[in-house]
């Protein structure tokens, strides 16, 4: 039953060097089967679509996430938002500066704890959010279509969830 397959490889595409010395090539993993690698490529591709979707609104993924979290629960402290997203609080400062400069979010000094800032949307920010969600919905639908449907999306999310955290 076809044992000539690897003996004669007449195809110039696959026959070229054939691991000259030792180096058992059979032990080398195909890049397309390496979880981390495929994960990285997929993530870059999805982010690429996200970024292109948001070029007009000039919003980056991290900024989207921050605005979304503030909208979901206004009043949270800077550190809380940063930590939820895995952003170091030192790096969060510039990000928040940007959102404040654009007038979509603001810091308020908390009277109870004068160290912390609670984060809120501005009125303009609330208007912006609806625009943002519209763009995001189109993007997410595109991703779901690529996956094959909602069921596949759900399955993917489940599998990815098993990979996060638990370090």
Tokens at 89, concatenated: 């609080």
- φ and ψ at 77, to 5 degrees? -75, 155
**Angle at CA of residue 132, ends 127 and 135, nearest 5°:** 135
Rounded CA separation 62/95 (Å) = 8
Distance in Å, CB of 149 to DNA, minimum? 29
**Residue 143 interacts with, from its own copies, DNA, none (CB under 5-8 Å by kind):** its own copies
- Check binding of 110 to its own copies (CB under 8 A): no
**Residue 57 interacts with, from DNA, its own copies, none (CB under 5-8 Å by kind):** none
Q: Bridge-partner residues for 118, per DSSP?
A: 77, 108
Residues that bind its own copies (CB under 8 A): 16-17, 19-23, 25, 27-29, 31-50, 61, 65, 68-69, 71-75, 84-86, 121, 126, 129, 133, 136, 140, 143-144, 146-148, 152-153, 155-157, 159-167
């Amino acid at each position: 039953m076809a044992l000539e397959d690897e003996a004669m490889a007449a195809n110039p595409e696959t026959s070229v060097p054939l691991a000259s010395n030792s180096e058992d090539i059979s032990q080398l993993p195909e890049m397309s089967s390496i979880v981390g690698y495929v994960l990285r490529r997929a993530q870059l591709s999805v982010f690429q679509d996200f970024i292109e979707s948001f070029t007009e609104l000039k919003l980056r993924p991290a900024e989207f996430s921050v605005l979304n979290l503030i909208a979901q629960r206004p009043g949270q402290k800077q550190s809380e938002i940063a930590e939820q997203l895995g952003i170091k609080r030192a790096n969060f400062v510039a990000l928040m500066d940007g959102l404040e400069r654009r007038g979509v979010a603001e810091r308020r000094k908390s009277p109870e704890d004068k160290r912390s800032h609670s984060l809120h949307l501005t009125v303009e920010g609330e208007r912006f959010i609806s625009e943002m969600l519209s763009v995001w919905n189109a993007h997410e639908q595109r991703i779901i279509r690529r996956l094959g449907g909602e069921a596949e999306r759900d399955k993917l999310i489940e599998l990815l969830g098993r990979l996060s955290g638990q370090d």
